[in-house]
Copies of this chain bind each other. A is one copy, B any other.
Amino acid sequence: MDTKTTNKHVVIVGGGFAGLGCARKLAKHDDVRVTLIDRHNYHQFQPLLYQLATSELGSGDVATSLRQSLRNHANVDVKMAEVMVADPRNRRVTTQDGQNYEGDFLVLAAGSQANFFHTKGAEQNSFPLYSLEEAERLRSRVLAVFEDADRDSRVIEKGALNFVIIGGGPTGTELAGALADMINLTMTGEYPDLAVKRAQVHLVDHGSTLLAPFSAEAHEYAARTLRRKGVRLLLGQSVTEVTPDHVQLSDGTAIPTRTVVWAGGLMASPLADNSGLPRGHGGRIQVEPDLTVAGFAGVYALGDFANIPGADGRPLPQLASVAQQCGVWTAKNILAEIAGRPRTAFHYHDKGFMAMIGRDAAVAEIGNKRHELEGPIAFAAWLGVHLLLMSGVRERIEAFIDWAWDYFSKTRPIQVLDRSDENRIDWGEHTERTVTH
């Protein structure tokens, strides 16, 4: 068709907050064609994956189909494919099955993966928490070790009920709080036979504080709240090795466990290696203030995939709100380029930060103000923030019901142990025994 050949074509790699934000903005302009490529068919709501892992939310609450989100826009085409190589000179990418996609503009928002910092055994023996599938796997593992311990309490000696979280950033801190609540409020009621009080959440960080980027008061508050919930904080310690049955710490101690969560840092996804673009900290693409890559006309990099300069020159943190805003900004700059107007430097509008530590405690920093919230008001504030961020009306309604249900009933809506093949844990030798009560 005529319009197909004359309209500018934008190829976007990645359907996360950055890529989807860009696609949605461009979708409203019929004179632009967009191809959005992601290796999954869904957009995932990464800040809530820890709730999937603790049986509070289901997959449908934290993932929405990209095709559904964009189905009313004839100028946007979604392709599910894994992009392996980028050729930024020609604004072309090549997928795993050998297809090439070429545009007038190339937007790289390919996201992150866990950065294990060469920690021995970590990649093989820990659960990262950055993708939907990783969160589903962690959920089933948490449930599996409780079931195994309930069936045979001898495995508790082997660390069945030790949960070790590596990394005290927002993901690690929120997960520690949610896991502690799950143990204290849900599991105690559901496993009357089991000594649930022997379950222990360990949170390890090599720094001296939790939630490092935030204020000293926020550090203190998070630590105090987690300790009150029974979480064991191992600060100023690093992990030297993760094995199939224990974690080795830098002070020489070992924690026996089958559930190690890696929340210890992110690096750019492997596409960065195969892009020929300049890279910086965390392997992320170095971009100009306007989100373009110097020397490559029509190429943008954004979200967790890029080091985006903030107002003070330092890179902005890897946050959903940064990613979403720079996606929209990129769309505006592309539209400006097409119209022959100049691009503008990205300005991040910081709406603040909020972390939920279990169901009844939250810390928020908005502007220069810090708020420590306890009890139902913490839950309500947090609920409001996340319902506003979630994209779909149905997701909002259902997540609201799941959360409200969970909050008031102390049960877990999505307590489903699937992937049972992955959770036949070898606990070593035991003698047979008969249970007659």
- Measured CB to CB, the residues of A under 8 A from B are 4-5, 9, 33, 35, 39-42, 58-61, 63, 65, 67-68, 71, 74, 77-81, 92, 95, 97-102, 132-133, 136, 143, 147, 150-152, 189-193, 394, 397-398, 401-402, 405, 409, 411-420, 430, 432-437
**Contact status A67-B418, CB under 8 Å:** no
Asked, given contacts A68-B411, A401-B394, whether A63 binds B132 with beta carbons under 8 Å apart, the answer is: no
11 sample A-B contacts, Cβ–Cβ < 8 Å, listed by A number: A41-B147, A41-B417, A42-B415, A58-B59, A58-B60, A59-B418, A68-B411, A80-B147, A99-B151, A99-B435, A101-B436
Contacts of A419 in B (CB 8 A): 133
Question: A132 and B41 in contact (CB under 8 A), knowing A150-B80, A435-B102?
Answer: no
Distance in Å: Cβ of A217 to nearest Cβ of chain B: 37
Please name all residues of chain B whose beta carbon is closer than 8 Å to the beta carbon of A99 when the two chains form the complex. Answer: 151-152, 432-435
User: How many copies of the chain does the oligomer comprise?
Assistant: 2
Residue contact A60 to B416, C-beta cutoff 8 Å: yes
Q: Which of B63, B100, B193, B417 contacts A433 (CB 8 A)?
A: B100
Add 12 more A-B contacts to A41-B416, A58-B60 (CB < 8 A). Answer: A9-B437, A63-B416, A65-B190, A67-B190, A71-B190, A71-B411, A79-B150, A98-B432, A99-B435, A100-B432, A101-B435, A133-B419
A151 touches B98 (CB 8 A): no
- Least CB distance from A151 to B in Å reads 6
Residues of B close to A415: CB separation below 8 A = 41-42, 65, 67-68
Q: Given the complex, which residues of B lie within 8 Å of A420, measured CB to CB?
A: 39-40, 133
Q: Identify which of B41, B58, B432, B437 contacts A4 (C-beta below 8 A).
A: B437
Q: Among B4, B33, B60, B416, point to the contact of A65 (Cβ < 8 A).
A: B416
Tell me which of B42, B398, B414 contacts A402 (CB under 8 A).
B398
Q: How distant is the Cα of A295 from the Cα of B231 in the complex, in angstroms?
A: 55
The residues of B that contact A74 with a CB separation of less than 8 Å are: 192
Give the docked Cα–Cα distance between A398 and B68 (Å): 19
> A190 vs B147: C-alpha distance in the bound complex, in angstroms?
41
C-alpha spacing A209/B188, complex, angstroms = 52
Residues of B within 8 A of A136 (CB): 418
Q: Which residues of B contact A132 (CB under 8 A)?
A: 416, 418
Residues of chain B within 8 A of A5, CB atoms compared: 437
Q: Are B59 and A416 in contact (CB under 8 A)?
A: yes
Residue numbers in B under 8 Å from A102 (CB-CB) = 434-436
Separation in Å of the A346 CB from the closest CB of chain B? 28
